[in-house]
């Protein structure tokens, strides 16, 4: 009988291997709940048993089809495509680029923090409807009834988001800046490695990819960072970060720029932004880097 994959990675372990400490097969892992730093193999980090296990919709459906799809369609290509991006993207094929954008979209949507956000949005929507039903309203107001969205809802959420391809088409029309980190600097990654940041929206759940000021950050390795910005920003120095950018399917005009060293001040700020938007885990190839980050972002009661 075929052995089924039961330990499911919320962040690709193949991707995390790019952050292995020098001459090691392990990474440093900072736990933001308590400040502990562990030294672990990537396949032991950011995993949950049966996280992607789905109840069969039809006879013969594989309960582990999502995990197997990730392993067969994306895992084998991640390192090769990232290497080509670091080299400027000239050797990257259209198929590889499409595959990588799909990987970014999936990686952004499938992490637990996005699943919980989707469930909470759905719970509020259901509550808004229920509150207008007389026989339900009083029970909800007095907390006799509680609306709970099942964990399986995340599969519906991912399916609908992937069907809409909202993030895919935004990623496909942005300027991709491949930054080299300053000498001796170590870029971190996290349990939510695709970071969407907008200075006008400190609450990351409200920023949204479709606003003019939104920036996508994705650490490629400890020495290289992918930064995506909307092309409209370049011709609007006094742009409004909250302005909405409309995108149409097929509107593809990626411009890849590589070769520049990120200013040290910006690099330090990006490390903090990435860490502050992490769900719980920050990963690095360098322990002192994680110690500095923890000292910057830890809460007073830690």
Residue 59 binned pLDDT confidence (cut-offs 50, 70, 90): low
> At a CB cut-off of 8 Å and minimum separation 6, what does 10 contact?
46, 47, 48, 51, 110, 111, 112, 191
∠181-182-185 over CA atoms, to 5°? 80
Tokens matching residue 78 = 């991640």
Is 122 inside a domain boundary?
no
Q: In this model, does residue 148 exceed pLDDT 70?
A: yes
CA distances 126 to 129, 131, 137, 188, Å, are 5, 9, 12, 38
Beta bridge partners of 215: 197
Q: Which SS3 state, helix, strand or coil, does residue 30 take?
A: strand
Instruction: Read off the pLDDT of residues 188-235 as tens digits, 9 standing for 90 and up.
Output: 999 999 999 988 887 666 678 999 999 999 999 999 999 999 998 887
Which residue shows structure tokens 């949950």?
Answer: 48
Domains in the chain, number: 1
Q: Is residue 241 part of a domain?
A: yes
Indicate whether 146 belongs to any domain. no
Residue 198 domain-assigned? yes
Exposed, middle or buried, 147 (CB in 10 Å: 0-12/13-18/19+)?
A: middle
What pLDDT is attached to residue 58? 65
Determine, yes or no, domain membership for 119: no
Residue 124 lies in a domain: no
* Confidence check: pLDDT of 263 > 80: yes
- Kindly tell me if the per-residue pLDDT of 149 is higher than 80: no
3-state secondary structure of 39: strand
Angle of helix 153-164 relative to helix 112-130, nearest 10 degrees? Answer: 100
List strand residue ranges (DSSP E) for 27-171, in order.
Answer: 27-31, 37-40, 47-49
Q: What is the pTM of this model?
A: 0.86
pLDDT exceeds 60 at position 1: no
What residues make up the domain containing 217?
7-110+165-297
Determine the Cα–Cα distance for residues 217 and 274; give it in Å rounded to an integer.
Answer: 8
| Of the candidate ranges 27-31, 67-71, 291-295, the one whose mean pLDDT is the lowest | 67-71
Residue 282: count other Cβ atoms within 10 Å of its Cβ. Answer: 25
- The predicted-structure confidence for 157-188, as pLDDT tens digits, reads as follows 777 777 778 889 999 999 999 999 999 999 99
What is the largest distance, in Å, between two alpha-carbon atoms of the chain? 66
How many CA atoms lie within 13 Å of 100's alpha carbon, on the beta-carbon side?
A: 24
In a domain, 252, yes or no: yes
Q: Band of the pLDDT at 75, cuts 50, 70, 90?
A: confident
């Amino acid at each position: 009988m075929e052995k089924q994959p039961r330990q499911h990675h919320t962040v690709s372990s193949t991707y995390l291997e790019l952050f292995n400490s020098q001459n090691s097969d392990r990474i440093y892992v900072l736990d933001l709940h308590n400040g502990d730093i562990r030294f672990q193999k990537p396949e032991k980090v950011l995993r949950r048993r049966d996280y992607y296990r789905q109840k069969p919709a039809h006879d013969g459906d594989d309960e582990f089809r999502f995990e197997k799809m990730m392993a067969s369609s994306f895992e084998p290509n991640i390192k090769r495509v990232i290497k080509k991006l670091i080299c400027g993207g000239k050797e990257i094929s259209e198929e590889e680029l499409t595959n990588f954008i799909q990987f970014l979209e999936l990686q952004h949507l499938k992490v637990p923090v996005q699943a919980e956000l989707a469930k909470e949005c759905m719970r509020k929507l259901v509550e808004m409807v229920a509150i207008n039903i007389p026989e339900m309203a009083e029970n909800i107001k007095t907390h006799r009834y509680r609306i709970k969205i099942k964990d399986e809802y995340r599969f519906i959420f991912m399916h609908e988001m992937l069907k809409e391809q909202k993030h895919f088409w935004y990623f496909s029309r942005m300027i991709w800046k491949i930054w080299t980190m300053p000498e001796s600097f170590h870029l971190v990654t996290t349990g939510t490695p695709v970071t969407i940041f907008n200075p006008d929206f400190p609450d990351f759940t409200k920023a949204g990819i479709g606003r003019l000021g939104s920036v996508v950050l994705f650490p490629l390795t400890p020495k290289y960072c992918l930064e995506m910005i909307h092309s409209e920003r370049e011709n609007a120095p006094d742009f409004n970060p909250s302005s909405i950018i409309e995108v149409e399917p097929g509107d593809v005009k990626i411009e890849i720029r590589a070769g520049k060293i990120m200013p040290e001040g910006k690099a330090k700020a990006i490390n903090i932004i990435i860490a502050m938007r992490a769900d719980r885990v920050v990963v690095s190839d360098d322990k002192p880097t994680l110690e500095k980050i923890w000292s910057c972002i830890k809460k007073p009661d830690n």
